[in-house]
Amino acid sequence: MASNGRPAPVDWVEGGYLFIVPPDNVANLERNVKRQRAEGCVVDLLMPQELKSKFPSMNVDDLGAGAHTPHDGWCDPNGLLWGFRRKAVELGAVYVKDRVVAAEMDPAKARAVVLASGERVAADAFVNAAGAWSGEVASMFGMKLPVTPMRRFEHYFTAGSPIERLPYVKDVARLAFRSEGKGFSGGVVDGNERRGFNFEVDHDYFERVVWPAVAHRFPAFEAAKCHRTWSGLYEQNELDGNPVIGRWSRVPNLYTVAGFSGHGMMHAPAAGRAIAELVVHGRYQTIDLGRLGYERVEAGEPYREEGIL
Ligand SMILES: Cc1cc2nc3c(=O)[nH]c(=O)nc-3n(C[C@H](O)[C@H](O)[C@H](O)COP(=O)(O)OP(=O)(O)OC[C@H]3O[C@@H](n4cnc5c(N)ncnc54)[C@H](O)[C@@H]3O)c2cc1C
């Protein structure tokens, strides 16, 4: 992606992803690997000894297998965001710095939104892409969207002794970390975290929760040192941890693309295209994302993914 000939500054690192699972999750992992290969992904299914020879520092005693995708990676989210923004502006989008505080409705149609500045914006279509705030925004339109803010810590830490460069390692207990510069970046997601707009940093969390988990998996982290902790908000879809993408049948000109539950950066390009297709063409053109629609929320039918954080 480039705007005015300038590539988006995403700092892409093809470091690979590695999902590791205990023996009782191997069948599930194998199913996922089969599916991913059928879709053209390069995935290596590694048994414990193969994991050990590829990542010698890893403790594999309690593992059943791992799925390694060497061509996956990570990038700078802020650079990606600005890349999208510049491209959108180049294509004619106008950004307004303000906050939606209310919606004006006809019985089955959204007419306008009111901004904190008092300005009123009328439109044919409205897209709720407000992340952790999307539940609040939905309620302005009379819609119940089960997306809540869930605090999540990210830590930058170093190992006490040398360790090989690691891919993005993820396990079923929600440990997730990867090499970053001279150290490592990641954490352990706490799904029981109290919901709310809380950005306070718990400086004991690394030592209490993350350190035991990384040191168990890689004993070289026994003497790990946490240098920095920051907090952000997951936009947690309480129904099933997957995004809600689509139209609301009661107010068909209100679209939702929210609730990515901590996976929204990697899904953003596809989700953006999908919602644009729905708004412009009235239906999906590239991939049918009907299963992620709001209908499942209304029906109370979760659409869960297995083997994801
Ligand atoms: C610690 C941490 C690690 C993560 N790691 C990953 C990862 O490795 N991979 C990955 O894919 N994702 C990751 N995520 C998740 C990812 O950051 C989110 O899923 C993604 O940013 C969601 O994008 P969004 O555009 O839906 O929402 P946001 O980026 O939150 O954007 C919502 C926007 O709506 C605006 N807004 C809110 N209310 C209003 C209002 N009333 N009026 C107008 N505007 C409003 C906000 O100001 C904001 O600009 C991580 C998140 C955290 C916190």
Q: Tell me the CATH number at 287.
A: 3.50.50.60
Strand-strand pairing, 244-248 and 251-258:
antiparallel
205 and 227 housed in the same domain: yes
Exposed/middle/buried for residue 132 (C-beta within 10 Å: 0-12, 13-18, 19+) = buried
How close is the Cα of 271 to the center of ligand 1, in Å? 13
In this predicted structure, what is the pLDDT of residue 73? Answer: 97
Of 55, 67, 59, nearest in space to 25 by CA: 67
Say yes or no: 251 and 105 in one domain. Answer: yes
Joined tokens for residue 3: 């705007």
Same domain? For 39 and 166 the reply is no
88 part of a folded domain: no
Q: How far apart are CA 285 and CA 268, in angstroms?
A: 17
Residue 82 inside a domain? The answer is no
Taking a C-beta distance cutoff of 8 angstroms, is the pair 153, 174 a contact?
Answer: no
Residues 128 and 259 in one domain: yes
Query: Which domain CATH number covers 223?
Result: 3.30.9.10
Atom 30 (ligand 1) nearest CA: 131
pLDDT for residue 307: 64
Tell me the ipTM for this assembly. 0.99
Domain final position from 193, 210, 237: 237
Pocket of ligand 1, candidates 74, 136, 260: which has the most ligand atoms within 8 Å of its Cβ, to mutate?
260
Closest residue by Cα to atom 9, ligand 1, is 263
Query: Is residue 229 domain-shared with residue 269, that is, in the same domain?
Result: no
Q: How far apart are CA 138 and CA 117, in angstroms?
A: 20
Task: Measure 16 CA to ligand 1 centroid, in angstroms.
Answer: 23
- Please report the pLDDT score of residue 160 as a whole number: 85
How far does the centroid of ligand 1 lie from the alpha carbon of residue 209, in Å?
24
Dump pLDDT digits (tens) for 192-240. Answer: 999 999 999 999 999 999 999 999 999 999 999 999 999 999 999 999 9
**Pocket around ligand 1 at a 6 A CB cut-off:** 99-100, 129-133, 137, 152, 154, 232-235, 258, 260, 262-266
d(CA 18, CA 284) in angstroms, rounded, equals 32
The verdict on 204 and 125 lying in the same domain is no
How distant, in Å, are the alpha carbons of 46, 141, 188 from that of 34? 13, 42, 27
Pocket test for ligand 1, best of 136, 147, 174, 234 (most atoms within 8 A of CB): 234
* pLDDT, tens digit, 9 for 90 and up, residues 77-87: 999 999 999 99
Q: Judge contact between 150 and 217, C-beta under 8 A.
A: no
- The answer to whether residue 87 is domain-embedded is no
- Distance (Å, whole) CA 274 – CA 2: 20
Structure tokens at 148: 């809540």
Looking at the domain assignment, is residue 78 inside a domain?
Answer: no
The predicted pLDDT at position 269 comes to 94
Please report whether residue 19 resides in a domain.
yes
Domains: count for the chain:
3
Q: Ligand 1, atom 52: nearest CA belongs to which residue? A: 232
Q: Give the distance (Å) from ligand 1 centre to CA of residue 221.
A: 30
For residue 124, what are the contacts with CB-CB under 8 A and spacing of at least 6?
A: 253
Domain presence at residue 306:
no
Cβ–Cβ < 8 Å for 151, 177 = no
Please give the Cα distance from 237 to 260 (Å, whole number).
7
Q: How far apart are the first and last CA of the chain?
A: 28
Mutation pick for ligand 1 pocket among 74, 133, 178, 233 (CB with most ligand atoms within 8 Å): 133
Whether residue 110 lies inside any domain: the answer is yes
292 is a domain residue: yes
- Domain identity same for 138 and 156: no
Do 152 and 230 fall within a single domain?
yes
Structural domain including 16 reads 8-69
Point out which residues pair with 309 in neighbouring strands: none
Q: What is the chain's pLDDT, residue by residue, as a tens digit (309 residues)?
A: 888 888 988 999 999 999 999 999 999 999 999 999 999 999 999 999 999 999 999 999 999 999 999 999 999 999 999 999 999 999 999 999 999 999 999 989 999 999 999 999 999 999 999 999 999 999 999 999 999 999 999 999 999 888 999 999 999 999 999 999 999 999 999 999 999 999 999 999 999 999 999 999 999 999 999 999 999 999 999 999 999 999 999 999 999 999 999 999 999 999 999 999 999 999 999 999 999 999 999 999 999 987 665
Same domain, 225 and 249: no
